[in-house]
Structure 1
C-alpha cells in the first residue's frame, strides 16, 4: 500500500476539520494516509509517496517557514499537491490582481505595502461606500481582517496599526450580500466540479467560517455562479488537484472573493460522495504521473 501524508498542524482542536473522511476511500484505492504536522521537523518526507497539503491553518503566522517546509518536501522523493508553484503563487492574495487581468470578476480591491491611518478616509471615498474591509495579503481564518465603518473606523486605528505594521494588505468595499445572503464556495478536484455550499455568518458578524459561528448549507449553484467559477478555474495556469473558489453575489453576477489553493476546508461533510471523488481524482493523477 502506498503512503500519503496529509499535511496539517500540531492540533486541530479549535477547528472543524474533515480530512479524516478521506481515510476510507483512499485505503480502498490502495493508499494509506497519515496526518502530519507541518511543524514537525523530524519527519522524513522520503517515507511517503505523496504529501497533500490540507489543514495547516496556522501557516500565516510563519509563512516563510511554511514555504521552506514545502520546498523541503519538493526536494524529497514525495510528490507534493498542490504543486509548490501553485501554492507560492496563491499564498499572496495579489494573485487576484493577476486573475482580474485575465477577465475574472473579482471584488474591487486596492493594494497597499505600508499602513497609514490617514489614508483610510480616501479608501471609503475611492469605493464610494460607508463600509470597507481591510485584510492581510497573506492570511487564513479571517485573521487580522477588519470590517470598518466610516463613522467609527477611528476606534480601530490602534489595532490596525499594530496588525499591519509589517504586513502588506488589501482594501475592499464591504459586500453587504455576504450578510444578506452569504458566501458561495465551489469545489473542484483535478479540474472537475465536485460540490458547492453556501456559508452565512452569524448575526452581527461577517466571517463565514464555522469557527466564527458561520452556518453551512449544501446548494446547487445557479448557472451564472457556475459560469464564473469555471472561468476562474480556467484562469489558473497550473491546474491544481484541489481548488475552492469563493464568491459573493454582485449585481446580476458574482465576484470572486478568494481562490483557495493551499489549505481550504473542502467540506467533505457537506456531500457524502465528495471524499470519494477527491480520493479518485488524487489516485488518477498519481497514476498519470506514474507515482
Structure 2
C-alpha cells in the first residue's frame, strides 16, 4: 500500500530532458516527494489514466500536472467518479469538479468577490461576439472554454478583429461552453496572482505571467 500517489498526465510521466518547462515540473515533483517522505510517507507517481494502476492500493492521490484533463474532460470526470470509490482524492471530487469549470466565477461573484467582467455562452447557443461586446461596451476581449488550461483554445481578440473571429467563436460554441471576457491589460503587463489557502489559512501567493505566444 502506497501512502500518496502524485498524478501527472502521460506527456509528463517520462518526458525528454532539456526543456525548462519540463525541468520545472520535475523540480517541483522532487521537492514535494522529499517533503512527503520527510513526514514518513511513501510516494508513487503515475499518469491519471494509467489502466494498470491499482487505485485501491494507494491511500490518497494528489493532483499535480494532469494537464490534459480539459482536452478529455468527460473521460476525466468519469475517471474521478470511479477512483473516488477506491481512494481519497486530494482535493475531493466535489471541489475538483467545481474548480475545473469556470462557471465557478458565478459563485464567486454571488458571494461579492469581484471577477473579470465575463459573459457566459452555453454550448450550442447562438450569440454573436459583436452583440456581446455592444451589450457590455467592451472593445478588446478574450474568449476561452469554460473548461480549459494552459491557454487551451484561448484567444485575445482586438476590437477591429471581432468580425473576422465570429466564425471561430461560433465553431467553438458548437463544441463547448465558452466565456467572453473583457481584456485586462494589467494581466499582460503585470501578471495575475494566485493565492494559496490551506485549511482556510492563506499561506502564500504566486505571480503568474503570460509567456510569449499565450
**Normalising to structure 1: TM-score of the pair?**
0.64
Q: Look up the match of 1:198.
A: 207
C-alpha distance in 2, partners of 1:71/1:28? Answer: 31
1:188 and 2:200 correspond = no
Decide whether the 8 Å contact of 1:121 with 1:150 is kept in 2. no
**Unaligned residue ranges in structure 1 (runs of 5+):** 208-291
Decide whether the 8 Å contact of 1:187 with 1:196 is kept in 2. yes
Q: SS at the partner of 1:75?
A: coil
Which of 23, 27, 37 is the matching residue for 1:27? 37
1:56 and 2:61 correspond = no
Q: Look up the match of 1:47.
A: 57
C-alpha distance in 2, partners of 1:197/1:43? Answer: 33
Which of 120, 128, 145 is the matching residue for 1:119? 128
The Cα offsets for residues 188-208 of structure 1, whole Å up to 9 and x where unpaired, read as 2232222223223346x6x4x
Decide whether the 8 Å contact of 1:4 with 1:50 is kept in 2. yes
1:142 and 2:134 correspond = no
Q: Look up the match of 2:18.
A: none
Aligned 1:65-84 pairs, distance under 5 A:
65-76=75-86, 78-84=87-93
Decide whether the 8 Å contact of 1:186 with 1:193 is kept in 2. yes
C-alpha distance in 1, partners of 2:90/2:211? Answer: 33
Q: Which has the higher contact order (CA 8 A, sep 6+)?
A: 1
Q: SS at the partner of 2:61?
A: strand
Q: SS at the partner of 1:165?
A: helix
Aligned 1:280-291 pairs, distance under 5 A:
none
C-alpha distance in 2, partners of 1:40/1:153? Answer: 42
Q: Look up the match of 2:7.
A: 7
Off by >6 Å, runs of 4+ in structure 1: none
Decide whether the 8 Å contact of 2:8 with 2:46 is kept in 1. yes
C-alpha distance in 2, partners of 1:74/1:127? Answer: 41
Aligned 1:244-283 pairs, distance under 5 A:
none
CA root-mean-square deviation: 2.0
C-alpha distance in 2, partners of 1:112/1:38? Answer: 30
Deviates more, 1:125-134 or 1:190-199: 190-199
Decide whether the 8 Å contact of 1:2 with 1:30 is kept in 2. no
Deviation at 1:5, TM superposition (A): 0.6
**Normalising to structure 2: TM-score of the pair?**
0.86
Which of 173, 187, 195 is the matching residue for 1:164? 173
Q: SS at the partner of 1:197?
A: strand
Decide whether the 8 Å contact of 2:172 with 2:178 is kept in 1. no
1:87 and 2:121 correspond = no
C-alpha distance in 2, partners of 1:62/1:196? Answer: 29
**Unaligned residue ranges in structure 2 (runs of 5+):** 16-20
